[in-house]
């Protein structure tokens, strides 16, 4: 019997992903998206504890399901890194969690057990980056500081 991770990765391979540890393209049907919670980066097992994709763009009203692909992870919104008026979330460990995004802006999210190690991500809802400067001011521990800084730079380069 395949584990959930093996199944998701095999589906990505069937869809044309290359490389022995390649991740599937972000799962999406236009309104529903998925973020994998993984023990190691796809294609690079030397990078532990990651969200795939780490940076995701969605439309207002879309939902994102955080898939407990590997054990020991969760997704929680990062205080100060979500738009004003948006609902915060805090999924349980090993819990598949779906969040609907109705307020435009940038949402930072973390894995609580691996936050210090840099298991963080960004979701951009719509094209509104009004809270970018606020998100950039939030302080983070350990490797999360560098990973968030790189994701925010990548986001700025896309605009």
Contact indicator for 60, 102 with CB cutoff of 8 Å: yes
Decide: 77 and 107 in contact? Cβ < 8 Å.
yes
How far apart are the C-alpha atoms of 13 and 28, rounded to whole Å?
A: 16
Is 140 annotated as ligand-binding? no
Q: Is 109 annotated as a binding residue?
A: no
Counting Cα atoms < 13 Å in the Cβ hemisphere of 118 gives 15
Give tens-digit pLDDT for 94-148. 999 999 999 999 999 999 999 999 999 999 999 989 999 999 999 999 999 999 9
Query: Cis peptide before 79, with omega less than 30 degrees from 0?
Result: no
Residue 73 labelled as part of a binding site: yes
Tell me if 57 is assigned to a ligand binding site.
no
Domains and CATH numbers, the chain: 4-158 (2.60.40.420)
User: Pick from 8, 33, 34: which is nearest to 21 by CA?
Assistant: 8
Give pLDDT tens digits for 54-101.
999 999 999 999 999 999 999 999 999 999 999 999 999 999 999 999
């Amino acid at each position: 019997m395949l584990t959930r991770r093996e199944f998701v990765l095999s589906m990505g391979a069937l869809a044309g992903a290359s490389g022995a540890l390649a991740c599937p393209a972000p799962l999406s049907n236009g309104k529903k998206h998925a973020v994998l919670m993984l023990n190691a980066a796809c294609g690079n097992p030397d990078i532990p504890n990651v969200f795939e994709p780490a940076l995701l763009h969605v439309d207002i009203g879309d939902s994102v399901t955080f898939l407990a692909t590997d054990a020991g992870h969760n997704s929680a919104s990062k205080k100060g890194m979500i738009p004003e008026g948006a609902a915060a979330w805090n999924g349980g460990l090993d819990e598949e969690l779906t969040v609907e995004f109705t307020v435009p802006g940038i949402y930072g999210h973390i894995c609580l057990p691996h936050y210090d190690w840099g298991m963080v991500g960004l979701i951009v809802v719509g094209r509104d980056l009004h809270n970018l400067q606020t998100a950039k001011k939030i302080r983070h521990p350990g490797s999360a500081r560098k990973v968030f800084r790189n994701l925010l730079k990548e986001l700025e380069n896309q605009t």
